Structure 1
Amino acid sequence: MARVINTASAQMGPISRSETRRDTVRRLIEMMREAKARGAELVVFPELAFTTFFPRWLIEDEAELDSFYETEMPGPETAPLFEEAKKLGIGFNVGYAELVHEQGKKRRYNTAILVDPGGEIVGKYRKVHLPGHDAPQPGRTHQHLEKRYFEPGNLGFGVWRAYGGVMGMCICNDRRWPETYRVMGLQGVEMVMLGYNTPYDHTQHPDIDSLTQFHNHLSMQAGAYQNATWVVGTAKCGVEEGSNMVGQSVIVSPSGEIVAMASTIGDEVITARCDLDIGKRYRETIFDFARHREPDAYRLIVERKGAVPPPM
């Protein structure tokens, strides 16, 4: 029996700094309804989906900074999204800024959650690979202060059994790092949900930044293929508060092929029929780790090059 998840990627256009949580939640609900009408069982929303991308500014007032974070999930303003999901019988993945008190300290994380069709949270992930800087950089029109406003995630790259498969999550810059996918791949992940907010000028080196769209898809396609998993990448995009952000949200097959892609830089829903058994075929053939990764042979290759191999 085929294990199919009809999946939607719900790309968002710009969110202005003045836009309220209620405004953004209404937009998310509209796309959730469209996804359900098109047969989706799961919809993936972007990173920091409830607010503008606030790390582009230096915010020194603590109360103002706190206003961009969620202290509970769901909270009064985000609860309607959960209620609508339960009403429709559709699950979702969504990213947000999380403020918690842990170990007697205020902590801030760039977080994503997986919610089942009953409106219950079944998994949480906190972004590990934080890009940008911890202090303003001279000469930049827009800052990228994720290191100032978030701590690296402390939950690792977990997987969850849900939707009839093995589900994983990562956020934005995580997609560029092969270990993100491999850690989940070694746990048998079958679908990775990935929201992002990526500006075109993130490195300030034109030769690199001009390839932003290419690298965006390259990283997701490579991660999908090399780990035999579906990858659902969902952007917040367009010109947001003067910052030009990458779109091209995609659903990528375990073959590495893009099977659906957004064609606008606004709110847009794309869908695909994601057969999890496609990944199983790759794991049983080309990427059968147990059969094809011989620890002794690998160690011999590394030693001949004069390097110290990592522990196996």
Structure 2
Amino acid sequence: MTPSRTAVSPVRIAVIQFDPQVGLEKCGSNLERSLTLARRAISAGANLIVLPELSNTGYTFLTRAEAFAHAETLADSRSVKAWQDLASEHGIYLAAGFAERDGMKLYDSAVLLGPDGRLGHYRKAHLWDQEKLWFTPGDLGFPVFETPIGRIGLLICWDIWFPEVPRLLAAQGADIICSLNNWVWTPPPLFDAAGRCMASYLTMTAAHVNNVHIAAANRIGQERGGRFLGCSLIAGTHGWPIGEVASAEDECVLYADVDLTAARSAPIWNSLNDLQRDRRTDLYDATLGYRLHAPMPR
């Protein structure tokens, strides 16, 4: 296949839900499975692919030393190189989660890769449960990356519970947020009658109130006594899922065909209301006091 480096509209988004397992002996097979599923998505026409959080290592570390042993530096990561080679070979964009080592610090990180190299890098800002024992909270803020297919933001798992995160990404001009997750089982009730978990609704709500697409990839399976929720989805600017919400159990690839830049004209709901115009920036700052990255025009 000859890579395309021109803008593509609509974009075919693919969200990959699978079961990476922790253990140094399993990292290679985790990576290979992610590449196999990504190639399946490419064969189906996908040009923006989202993998889960920590998709090369699994999630449930027992000690910081174990987490450190699984981690890779951004510059020398075998996994990032393999994902980058795939993106370059096929002319696609790919977001993937990995455990990042930077000196003695560890980060729960994500990379955004494109045909011409690494476009962006994000470190999880809000850490869940024992992640606080292994990882350092992210220090890169909430950047949005300009690409030929649209503006792309990244968040990781627990971040979606903090409405500031998708709001800041949208306020900076993101057309889509790639949400990389390891949503875990918590005390019940976990699912409603439609089989959706609370994280599904948080994703839909964030897409709706920010008029932004969100592609949420979660993992499935069990690991060291813990379980994962599945329920991956792609939400449109209206908040509703585009296509199905994945089950809690099955490996799958979800697809949606979207003109990402349509997010910029989506906020007008009627002749009197517009989400961007209606914000009371006389009472609060347009970017909630965030100063790390300048907003792009919408």
Deviates more, 1:286-295 or 1:240-249: 286-295
| Cα distance change, pair 26–46 in 1 and its aligned pair in 2 (3 A) | same
What code does the residue aligned with 1:268 have? C
Partner of 1:89: 91
Q: TM-score, normalised by structure 1?
A: 0.80
- Residue 280 of structure 1: CA displacement? 2.4
Q: 2:111 aligns with which of 110, 113, 120?
A: 113
Partner of 1:99: 101
Tell me, which stretches of 5 or more residues in structure 1 are unaligned?
Answer: 133-144, 300-309
Q: TM-score, normalised by structure 2?
A: 0.84
- Look up the SS of the partner of 2:265 in the other structure: helix
Matched, 1:217 2:200: yes
Partner of 1:137: none
Query: Alpha carbon RMSD of aligned pairs, Å?
Result: 2.6
Matched, 1:37 2:22: no
Who wins on radius of gyration, i.e. which is larger?
1
- Look up the SS of the partner of 1:43 in the other structure: strand
Partner of 2:251: 267
Matched, 1:185 2:170: yes
- Look up the SS of the partner of 1:20 in the other structure: helix
CA distance in 2, matches of 1:20, 1:293: 48
Q: 1:169 aligns with which of 154, 179, 183?
A: 154
After TM superposition, list the pairs within 5 Å mapping 1:190-209 onto structure 2.
190-201=175-186, 205-206=187-188
What code does the residue aligned with 1:157 have? F
> Aligned residues: percent identity?
27
| Cα distance change, pair 33–74 in 1 and its aligned pair in 2 (3 A) | farther
- Residue 93 of structure 1: CA displacement? 0.2
Tell me, which stretches of 5 or more residues in structure 2 are unaligned?
Answer: 1-6, 291-298
After TM superposition, list the pairs within 5 Å mapping 1:120-135 onto structure 2.
120-132=117-129
Asked if the contact 1:200/1:210 (under 8 Å) is kept, the reply is no
- Residue 80 of structure 1: CA displacement? 2.7
Asked if the contact 2:24/2:57 (under 8 Å) is kept, the reply is no
| Cα distance change, pair 167–219 in 1 and its aligned pair in 2 (3 A) | same
- Residue 279 of structure 1: CA displacement? 1.8
- Look up the SS of the partner of 1:92 in the other structure: strand
CA distance in 1, matches of 2:289, 2:89: 49
After TM superposition, list the pairs within 5 Å mapping 1:3-42 onto structure 2.
3-17=9-23, 19-42=25-48
- Residue 223 of structure 1: CA displacement? 0.7
CA distance in 2, matches of 1:74, 1:246: 31
Asked if the contact 2:71/2:99 (under 8 Å) is kept, the reply is yes
Partner of 1:138: none
Alignment length, in residue pairs?
276
- Residue 253 of structure 1: CA displacement? 0.3
Asked if the contact 1:15/1:52 (under 8 Å) is kept, the reply is yes
- C-alpha distance after superposition, 1:281-307 (max 9, x if no partner): 3234467455212444x58xxxxxxxx
Asked if the contact 1:196/1:233 (under 8 Å) is kept, the reply is yes
- Residue 263 of structure 1: CA displacement? 3.6
Matched, 1:279 2:281: no
